[in-house]
Structure 1
Amino acid sequence: MAVDSRFYKMVKRGYQMSQPDFAPPEIYMIMKMCWDLEPTERPTFNKISQMIER
């Protein structure tokens, strides 16, 4: 997909890619958390590393 104005409009409307075949459900959950439209709701790098270490 080209990264153009159409792409940015989709992201602003909440578009999120589907789970890649290679991504386990736990990792996809983290990916989705990182895409939260509200930046303050996204996990910090510290929180992400804690989630991955589990």
Structure 2
Amino acid sequence: MLQLDGQELLHRPYAERRALLENLFVERGLTAWTLVPMTTDLAKAREWLQS
């Protein structure tokens, strides 16, 4: 997430911005889009790509 309620979030860490985005999906019941999973584990990412 780059901006929320008119406030720029670029200076915040990615993990914090990601959490805000996940909360937005839950709070607003967003189902038209899919939030892609996130990991820093290379093996897990490869597993996702092979499924």
| Fold equivalence (TM over 0.5) | no
TM-score by length of 1: 0.32
By percentage of residues, which structure has more helix?
Answer: 1
The higher-RCO structure (CA 8 Å, 6+ apart) is: 1
TM-score by length of 2: 0.32
